[in-house]
Amino acid sequence: MSSRLRIVLALGSAQTLAWGSTYYLPAILAEPMAGELGISTGNVFAAFSLALIVTAILGPLSGKRIDHHGGRDVLALSSVIFAVGLAMLGFANGPLMLWVGWLVIGIGMALGLYESAFSTLTGIYGRDARGAITGITLLAGFASTVCWPISGWLNAEFGWRATCLTWAGAHLLLGLPLNRLLIPVGVQSAPTPAEQAQANGRSGTGLTMALLAFVFAATWFTSTAMAAHLPRLLQESGLSAAAAIGIAALVGPAQVGARCLEFVLLQRFHPLISARLAAIAHPIGAAGVMLAGAPATTAFVLLHGGGNGILTIAKGTLPLAIFGPHGYGLRQGLLMVPARFAQAFSPLVFALLIDDFGTRALWLSAGLGVLAYAALTFLQRRAHGLA
């Protein structure tokens, strides 16, 4: 097995576990957690929001660490922290321990999700990391498809506590060896004086960073809202609970299909082109659900999943294509600070909107998608103007 393929398979599998057992967990376990602990579902989602705020604060520090020392040890540490946080959830006897458990998971998310994985690959491969970034997202795109049914089955058979403890064990037995034993250190050499001068002299860097930060914040607000509420949102359109979960699980295959398209075809073009196509996909699908209801839900999920799949890649490839590999980890962390705060409030905001407006809550996510498309269009035209 080639070194690159081994790294992609190992890191992609570890990312599937990391996303499926943390980011996608509240969609299945928030209600049983709240019911047994005697708190509202909103309280559980608020604790999840705390985790995302912690991730936003610590993300730049994690990226800077990877820039200077490589990502292997950071990713390995995240596996241990994920296990501790999930174990705390499994043994929680009240709201306080639940909140502390999610806080610990937030630390793990700052160290162990896509930003760290992308930075690790950039440290190993430099400007040639785009293919490897696409590769790990191909695998991790199945996180919801694989982990939602597993979490649902474990919860139904053994309860939510056992579900959390099972995922904690998986991080120690699977995630930790994958991250620590199969990933090289990988650190980019310092930029040459010419490269540093070019970076320092690049005009419009602040505006480009601001626009990219807005795009990531807008699209990840929507991504988090759908991850937390998609089954419920589909039920609001008229589907049964079983049908809603079944259709929601199509997000994973849609993400992977779109990433295959990116890998085979769109990789030949600048990532701004694929990012624009992806940004407009969710608004088109959302319009269908708001106009037609349940019959349009499958198309909506496929469009949302496909767009989200490519946007996840763009989050890693756009900064690399525009700014280069030097200082990539820190830049990624800074770009994602607004996105993480948007994510932190997204589950609560969207829960309230669904309570009051049902599927019409999609007007918000659709509007954000249109604005992201406009920002990316401006960046692409500006790039052509500077070329």
Which domains, from first to last, does the chain contain?
Answer: 3-182 (1.20.1250.20), 193-385 (1.20.1250.20)
Higher per-residue pLDDT: 204 or 58: 58
User: Using one digit for the tens of pLDDT, what is the confidence trace for 92-137?
Assistant: 999 999 999 999 999 999 999 999 999 999 999 988 888 899 889 8
- Asked if residue 188 has pLDDT above 70, the reply is no
Mean pLDDT to the nearest integer, 350-357? 89
- Assign 3-class secondary structure to the chain: CCHHHHHHHHHHHHHHHHHHHHHCCHHHHHHHHHHHHCCCHHHHHHHHHHHHHHHHHHHHHHHHHHHHHCCHHHHHHHHHHHHHHHHHHHCCCCHHHHHHHHHHHHHHHHHHCHHHHHHHHHHHHHHHHHHHHHHHHHHHCCHHHHHHHHHHHHHHHHCHHHHHHHHHHHHHHHHHHHHHHCCCCCCCCCCCHHHHHHHHHCCCHHHHHHHHHHHHHHHHHHHHHHHHHHHHHHHHCCCCHHHHHHHHCCHHHHHHHHHHHHHHCHHHCCHHHHHHHHHHHHHHHHHHHHHHCHHHHHHHHHHHHHHHHHHHHHHHHHHHHHHCCCCHHHHHHHHHHHHHHHHHHHHHHHHHHHHHHHHHHHHHHHHHHHHHHHHHHHHHHHHHHHC
Q: pTM for this structure?
A: 0.82
**pLDDT the model gives residue 387:** 46
Listed residue (215, 207, 217, 208) closest to 274, CA to CA? 215
Mean pLDDT to the nearest integer, 203-230? 87
- Asked if residue 201 has pLDDT above 50, the reply is no
- Asked if residue 174 has pLDDT above 60, the reply is yes
- Cα–Cα dist 330/118, whole Å: 12
**pLDDT the model gives residue 255:** 82
Sorted by sequence, the CB contacts under 8 Å of residue 160 that are 6+ apart come out as 29, 32, 33, 36
At residue 156 the predicted structure's pLDDT band, cuts being 50, 70 and 90, is very high
At residue 203 the predicted structure's pLDDT band, cuts being 50, 70 and 90, is very low
Q: Are 16 and 26 in contact (CB under 8 A)?
A: no
Token pair in block for residue 120 = 């690790």
Report residue 78 CA to chain centroid gap: 15
**pLDDT the model gives residue 382:** 78
Q: Are 59 and 340 in contact (CB under 8 A)?
A: yes
Q: Are 279 and 369 in contact (CB under 8 A)?
A: yes
**pLDDT the model gives residue 301:** 95
**pLDDT the model gives residue 353:** 92
**pLDDT the model gives residue 191:** 60
Mean pLDDT to the nearest integer, 79-84? 98
Mean pLDDT to the nearest integer, 141-156? 88
Token pair in block for residue 169 = 């064990």
Q: Are 175 and 183 in contact (CB under 8 A)?
A: no
Mean pLDDT to the nearest integer, 294-301? 93
- Asked if residue 61 has pLDDT above 50, the reply is yes
- Asked if residue 305 has pLDDT above 50, the reply is yes
From 59-68, 223-232, 271-280, the region with the lowest mean pLDDT: 223-232
Amino acid type, 279: A
Amino acid type, 341: F
- Asked if residue 70 has pLDDT above 70, the reply is yes
Query: How much is the mean pLDDT over the chain?
Result: 89
Q: Are 319 and 194 in contact (CB under 8 A)?
A: no
